[in-house]
Every structure is written in structure tokens, then in C-alpha cells.
Amino acid sequence: MAVETGQAVRAAIWTRVTGDATIKSVYGQSGTVYMYRIMAPQNPAFPYLVDRLSIGGDLLHGTHTYLLDLWDYNESPTRIDSAVDRLKILLHEWRFTTASDEAVGLAEWFSGGYIPTDAPKVWHYATQWTLRLGAARDITNIVG
């Protein structure tokens, strides 16, 4: 059940991020935002996002770490900066329920910053979010 719930949490975030009109205009290619789980495929088209959910303890009664990295190939980091600004608006203090109504959650901005790359014009910005999750039947665990 934890695997399915983790997938449902990621799906809720994916839907919010990739469906946002501003993210699509800033970070989308032909209206599509490319977002991969754990690792991008070899030679992906830029820009793209990569996410990971790190579960600490009991998935439905705990605090977890959600990592969302932005990648771009560009002369400057302005596109990533705009996307990060929008992600903070979309996700910080966002309360959500998974499509299966199994889990409810609260996402909170924790930290972020650029990570140096060895490729010219390739920009990598890593964000870290705290997710507090609870069973939908017991929403008292989600406070904020």
C-alpha cells in the first residue's frame, strides 16, 4: 500500500506542476512540461524536471522529503529562476488530497539552490520540500 500511496502523492504533485499554465509557458516545450521520476532518460530535451520522494517512516503518519530538480540549457538561468518562483507559489503551503482519497498532505518549501554542472550553459537547480502526510480518514495530522 505504501508504494501505491507514494505514487498517488507524486501524481498529485505532478498534476499540479505540469498542468499549471505559467509553468507551461516558462518551462514547457510545445505546451508540455517534461517531468521524470528519479532520473531523466539519456539525452533528454531541455528544459525538464526530475523528482524524488524520500519516505521517512510510516508514509501516512509522518514527515517526508520531496526533491524537485530543474534542468535547463540556456545562456542564463532566468528560465529556471522564473520556474522556481512559480513552484514556490504552487507548492508552498499547498494542501492536497490524492486522487484515491487515501492520503492528504501539506507541502512546504524547505530549501533550494543551484548545483554546479561541468557542461557549459547547463543549469541545475535543486529544491527540497517537506511533505507532511496523513490518512485521509485522519486529517488531524496535517496542521499548518
Looking at residue 142, its pLDDT comes to: 47
pTM, rounded to two decimals: 0.87
Looking at residue 13, its pLDDT comes to: 93
Q: For residue 125, what are the β-bridge partners? A: 70, 114
CATH of domain 2-141: 3.30.2000.20
CA dihedral 116, 118, 122, 127 (to 10 degrees): -30
Task: Decide: 12 and 99 in contact? Cβ < 8 Å.
Answer: yes
Task: Please identify which residue in the block is written with the cell numbers 531523466.
Answer: 40
Per-residue confidence in pLDDT tens, the chain, 144 aa: 466 778 888 899 999 999 999 999 988 877 889 999 999 999 999 999 999 998 877 777 778 899 999 999 999 999 999 999 999 999 999 998 887 777 788 899 999 999 999 999 999 999 999 998 887 766 544 444
Task: Decide: 62 and 9 in contact? Cβ < 8 Å.
Answer: no
Looking at residue 9, its amino acid is V
Looking at residue 88, its pLDDT comes to: 95
Looking at residue 92, its pLDDT comes to: 93
d(CA 19, CA 99): 15
**For the chain, give me the number of helices (H) and strands (E)?**
3, 6
Q: Determine the straight-line distance between the first and last CA of the chain, rounded to whole angstroms.
A: 26
d(CA 99, CA 44): 29
Query: What is the domain partition of the chain in residue ranges?
Result: 2-141
